[in-house]
Chains A and B, each alone.
Chain A
C-alpha cells in the first residue's frame, strides 16, 4: 500500500492550496488519514489527525478531507502565511502497519 503525494506545491500569501494524498489500492476511507507538518530543521508536528481533527493550537486554516471517489485524502491550507512553508506528510494504515506518503514541499511565494 503506497500513499502518493505531489513532490511540491506553491501558493501566494493569503491564497489557498491543497495537497493530495492518493492511495495505491483499496479504500483510503477505511483507515484514518493524518497530516504532519515539518518546517526546515524542526521536528514534525501534527496538523490533522483522524481524517479531519486538529490538535489544539492548530488554526482552522488547516483542514483535512477524504474523497472516496478518487481514493484520496487532501490537506487544504487557506489564508497562506509564510510560516506555512514546510514539508507535509500524509500518513495512514495498511492493516496494522503505518504508511507515510513521500512528502510534499510547500513553497509560499
Chain B
C-alpha cells in the first residue's frame, strides 16, 4: 500500500524541540525528493523543506531556517524533521509529501495525513 504516515507531534513549550518522522511504504523511497508542508489552524498551506532522494540536496523556508532540519534514512524509508527553538507561530499540522519525481520542481503527488504540533507560550 502506497502511503506516508507521520508521527512525533504533540504539545511542546516555546523554545523546545520536537522531531517529526514520516514512514513511507509501497514505493521506491530513494527515487523521490520528499517534502514537509504545514498548515496553521484556519490558514493555508506553507512549504517548509525538501530533500533529495540521496539526501544530498536540501532546502528550507526562510521562516524556519536555522531552526528546522530535514533528513532521511533510505534504509528505513523514513523522512525526518528536527524542529528546534519552537515558537507559537510554528503551531500547525505538519504533512510529509512525496515529490512526483527525482527532481524538486514537479510538486507533490502523495500526502500523509499530517501530525499536529502545538507550541504553547
Mark A97-109 against chain B: 1 for CB-CB distance below 8 A, else 0.
1111111000000
**Which residues, 62 to 109 on B, are CB-close (under 8 Å) to A?**
62, 95, 100-101, 104-109
**Residue in A closest to B61 when the chains form the complex, CB atoms:** A97
CB nearest neighbor in B for A50: B106
* Residue B112 lies at the interface, judged by CB distance under 8 Å to chain A: yes
Tell me if A's interface is mostly helix, strand, loop or mixed: strand
A100/B111 contact (C-beta < 8 A), A32-B105, A44-B95, A93-B105 known: no
Contact B45 A46 (CB under 8 A): no
Tell me how many residues of B have a C-beta within 8 Å of chain A: 24
Number of chain A interface residues as a range: 20 to 34
Query: Is A31 engaged at the interface, CB distance under 8 Å to the other chain?
Result: yes
Task: Please state if B105 and A55 are interface contacts (CB–CB under 8 Å).
Answer: no
B111 and A50 form a contact (CB under 8 A): no
- Nearest chain B CB to A2 CB, angstrom units: 12
Where the two chains meet, the residues of A that have a C-beta atom closer than 8 Å to any C-beta of B are 31-34, 36, 38, 43-46, 49-50, 53, 55, 89, 91, 93, 96-103
